[in-house]
Amino acid sequence: MDLKKENNRSVFLILAAAILICSGFQLGFESLPSWIEAGVSGAVSLILSAVLHMLSNLLGHNIKHKLVFTRVSNEMPGNRCNTLCMKDPRIDMEVVGTRWPDVFSEETSASDRNSRWYRCIYKGVKDAPEVLQAHRNFLLYRDVFSGLIGVALIVLGWSLWGPEDLFGAIKTSVYVVLGVFALVSMIAARNAGNRFVVNAVAAAI
């Protein structure tokens, strides 16, 4: 099952919504109907979809994870599955500590904990509905966040080197909209990533 492929349409729609709102602030919301009409036309829609797909995959997954969790090392939630599971009432820490001592031991380094969680816990329950859904949501919001970074870089580059007479100077509201979308998607990706790890443990018990 290709979860990233399943998310492509949702990633496109969220990024397109952000761009549409930015366009409204930049060019005037009265012009949006014509932009929407152009955007849903066959060729333009395909091109926009391809560009947004490219932007969402502009960064490698390791860099995406470091940005989402704002950590330079041991950024994956699996590295912290012991502390994450403590906060979930479904999980008895004595039970999981006895069943998977290599994962939940305090002596296990954070760098080893993620790979052990993956091997000992996740692989056995990866097709469980609650695990699949959390995994799908994590990939969705992570890729939306990555795509928004790509869009923001294009906007910044245009404001520095693009012809101002075409769209005018980039308005502050455009950066605010992109910042809000990026912040929300980052928080959503973090929450989904943490839930993904904890759901796998709960499903494996």
pLDDT tens per residue across span 68-92? 999 999 999 999 999 999 999 999 9
Cα dihedral value 176, 177, 181, 182, nearest 10: -40
Contact status, residue 59 vs residue 68, Cβ threshold 8 Å: no
pLDDT value at 93 more than 90? yes
Q: Tokens for 158, please give them.
A: 């245009």
Domain residue limits, the chain? 3-204
Burial of 27 (0-12, 13-18, 19+ CB in 10 A): middle
Percent share of the chain, pLDDT over 70: 90
Greater confidence (41 vs 7) lies with 7
Top pLDDT among 39 and 113 is at: 113
Q: What is the pLDDT of residues 140-156, one digit of tens each?
A: 999 999 999 999 999 99
Residue whose token pair is 């990939």: 139
Element (H, E) at 69: helix 61-69
Among the residue ranges 14-18, 103-107, 163-167, 175-179, the one predicted with the least confidence is 163-167
Picking from 203, 43, 29, 37, the residue whose alpha carbon sits closest to that of residue 123 is 203
Question: What contacts 103, CB < 8 A, 6 or more positions away?
Answer: 81, 82, 96, 113, 116, 117, 120, 121
pTM higher than the cut 0.85 = yes
